[in-house]
Structure 1
Amino acid sequence: MSQSGSNILVCVTQQKTCERLIRKALEFSSDNDSIFIIHVAKNNWSFLDNEKEGEALEYLFGIAKSIGANLTVLRSDNIVDTIVDYALENKIDILVLGDSKGDHSENYFYKSLKETLNVVEIHVVPN
């Protein structure tokens, strides 16, 4: 009998350094697990005009493909809600995200996602 595995979601930005998040997801995964990778861009962000960001997404897409995962790029002005909806739709068990930069002492994404996705195990990977 085949046992169903966990669904792992990795939240990436348009930076090549996000490869470390995908590698961390691999550490959490076993044979029956599925890895999903998502990038949510605000509606007014034009990453296609920015050569560096487009290149980074293409690089991350290659890594996703090499581990049998899909990289989904969505547009939304409410990034947290979009990630939550995607996580619920795909029955995500584990969420991997990077430590957010900024002035705030606590990770805004982590707090917002934890409140809504309280049954999901969230791992914040330090920079």
Structure 2
Amino acid sequence: MIKNFDPGTRSRIMVCITPQRSCIRLIERGAQRANETKGEFCVVYVNKSEDISKDIREHKILLDLFDIAQKMGGTVTILTGKKIYETLAQFAKENNITEIIVGKSLRSAFEVIRYGDVINPLKKQIEKSNIFLEVVD
């Protein structure tokens, strides 16, 4: 899961996306932060199973998001893992990520209880790693 960042880059921003068009705002924020800090950014998507095939609509959205990220100067990484927060935290630590950008969950409180949360467990996983976590509305 090691990504090839420029070794001289001190600011490494990781933008976490899902197959939703609203994630464009996260990519824009990542590009903005990379520009402000003279750093690099990568867009990361975690697939929860070994099978990367999604329904065609989700696949198209992901491809569009990847294209937007690359046009803004970012790179794209697709990860696979059963627990999204663990996979993201591991990637961040292995790649010396300095900042993670995630979107605020659109799940209801009931859905969070039923299906789980990514943001809070991710915070716990990275809290001792000096990685800043920004949650974008």
TM-score, length of structure 1 as denominator length: 0.85
Task: Encode CA deviations 1:36-93: one digit per residue, 9 max, x unaligned.
Answer: 110001117x563411111001101111111221111122111111000100111111
Cα contact 1:47–1:53 (8 A) shared by 2: no
Aligned length: 123
Structure 2 portions without partners, runs of 5+: 1-7
From 28, 38, 41, the equivalent of 2:47 is 41
From 115, 122, 126, the equivalent of 1:113 is 122
Cα contact 2:102–2:135 (8 A) shared by 1: yes
Q: What's the secondary structure of 2:14's corresponding residue?
A: strand
- What's the RMSD between the two structures over aligned residues? 2.2
The one-letter amino acid of 2:23's match is C
Give the superposition deviation at 1:99. Answer: 0.8
Q: Which residue is 2:3 aligned to?
A: none
The one-letter amino acid of 2:121's match is S
TM-score, length of structure 2 as denominator length: 0.79
Give the superposition deviation at 1:26. Answer: 2.1
